[in-house]
């Protein structure tokens, strides 16, 4: 009997130790290519959550993916708990347009926005591309299927009276484009990204000189009016001292915002924990990338178009940040 009670005590102690580990919830954050800004952003968020893993019973991991469209679809199917997606893609998915035509993703939920992303056109200096219209007939990478930048490229083309059929269109990932332009197989490529960016530094540092081409004009101004998720932006050429037009100071462009999205089906506790850790470690988060240096907490609640997840909203109420959110998104 004594031996039996001893075994039972050991078993009970084992359950006490193991049960919390078994109860730990695992969440995955979908990002983008490993050389872009999304991947380290997801990594930083996961690290913050995992530092409080015991407190929250939560373990976060990061997955490199094809980008915004993939992430939204994976979040909606339950394959990912969180995903980073451009603000325009969040808008389109929730309202059932573009890739989601007639299929509005009404369970999509916003958590917060992150950094501004400029639609950037990089072109070989020898290609004679001084404006967007000059890309007609040229070999241009528009972006890989499943990425937010592909639709951005199409929007910009349409704004100046062109279609993808007016260029020799390529559809490769952004990480491949600098090598292709330096090999002479591309005349230019679009990339929607926060600055400075490693891929663009690579493109501007090779044997073939490249320019960063302005995205501006009447058609672009009209595009901003028609699609509220776009905004005027500028690219600081100090970030790219080896570009052919490095002395331009700044180059005009338009852009969107990177946002973190989730599903209405993800528990409030999980979303609350992630939101709290990012905002409570805000100064640390800002150090992650130069594009984040000017971020404010108010900025991170702008550019959203899906309802705020209740777990995130709980934290924003506690922190007095609700006043910065579009009231239509507080449900």
Q: Name every residue whose Cβ is closer than 8 Å to that of residue 83 and which is 6 or more positions away in sequence.
A: 29, 30, 31, 65, 68, 70, 71, 72, 74, 75, 260, 261, 262
Which contiguous run of DSSP H or E holds residue 13?
helix 2-23
What SS3 state is found at 234? strand
pLDDT for position 289: 79
Residues 204 and 172 in one domain: yes
Q: Is residue 300 part of a domain?
A: yes
Give the integer Cα–Cα distance in Å for 51 and 49.
5
pLDDT for position 8: 46
pLDDT for position 11: 45
Residues 101 and 133 in one domain: no
Give the integer Cα–Cα distance in Å for 56 and 75.
21
Listed as ranges, residues in the chain with pLDDT below 50 are 2, 4-5, 7-22
Q: Which sign, positive or negative, has the C-alpha torsion 239, 243, 249, 255?
A: negative
pLDDT for position 84: 96
pLDDT in tens, 26-36: 999 999 888 77
φ and ψ of 31, to 5 deg: -120, -110
pLDDT for position 15: 44
Residues 65 and 183 in one domain: no
Q: Is residue 1 part of a domain?
A: no
Q: Is residue 78 part of a domain?
A: yes
Residues 70 and 90 in one domain: yes
Q: Domain holding 181: CATH number?
A: 3.40.190.10
Residues 166 and 250 in one domain: yes
Q: Is residue 174 part of a domain?
A: yes
Q: Residue 150 sits in which domain range?
A: 117-256
Residues paired with 189 in a beta bridge? 122, 141
Residues 251 and 277 in one domain: no
Q: Into how many domains does the chain fold?
A: 2
Residues 22 and 107 in one domain: yes
pLDDT for position 16: 44
Under 8 Å between Cβ of 112 and 259? yes
Residues 38 and 163 in one domain: no
Residues 251 and 126 in one domain: yes
Q: Is residue 6 part of a domain?
A: no
Q: Is residue 230 part of a domain?
A: yes
pLDDT for position 23: 62
Q: How do the residues of the chain divide into helix, strand and coil, expressed in percent and rounded to 5?
A: 45, 20, 30
């Amino acid at each position: 009997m004594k031996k039996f009670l001893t075994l039972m005590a050991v078993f009970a102690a084992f359950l006490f130790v193991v049960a919390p580990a078994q109860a730990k919830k695992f969440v995955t954050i979908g990002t983008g290519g490993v050389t872009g800004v999304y991947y380290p952003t997801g990594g930083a968020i996961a690290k913050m959550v995992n530092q409080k893993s015991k407190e929250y019973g939560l373990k976060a991991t990061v997955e490199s993916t094809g980008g915004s469209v993939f992430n939204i679809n994976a979040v909606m199917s339950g394959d990912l708990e969180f995903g980073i997606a451009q603000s325009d893609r969040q808008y389109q998915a929730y309202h059932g347009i573009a890739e989601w035509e007639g299929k509005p993703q009404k369970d999509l939920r916003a958590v917060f926005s992150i950094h501004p992303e400029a639609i950037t056109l990089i072109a070989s200096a020898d290609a004679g591309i001084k404006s967007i219209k000059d890309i007609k007939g040229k070999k241009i990478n528009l972006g890989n299927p499943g990425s937010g930048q592909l639709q951005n490229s199409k929007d910009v083309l349409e704004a100046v009276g062109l279609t993808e059929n007016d260029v020799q269109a390529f559809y490769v990932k952004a990480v491949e484009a600098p090598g292709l332009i330096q090999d002479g197989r591309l005349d230019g490529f679009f990339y929607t990204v926060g600055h400075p960016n490693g891929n663009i530094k690579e493109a501007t540092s090779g044997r073939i000189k490249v320019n960063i081409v302005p995205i501006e004009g009447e058609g672009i101004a009209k595009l901003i009016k028609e699609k509220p998720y776009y905004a005027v932006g500028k690219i600081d050429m100090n970030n790219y001292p080896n570009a052919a037009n490095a002395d331009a100071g700044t180059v005009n462009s338009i852009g969107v915002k990177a946002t973190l999205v989730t599903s209405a089906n993800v528990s409030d506790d999980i979303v609350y924990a992630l939101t709290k850790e990012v905002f409570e470690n805000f100064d640390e988060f800002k150090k992650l990338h130069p594009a984040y240096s000017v971020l404010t907490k108010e900025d991170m609640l702008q550019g959203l178009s899906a309802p705020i997840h209740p777990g995130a909203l709980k934290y924003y109420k506690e922190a007095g940040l609700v006043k910065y959110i579009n009231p239509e998104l507080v449900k």
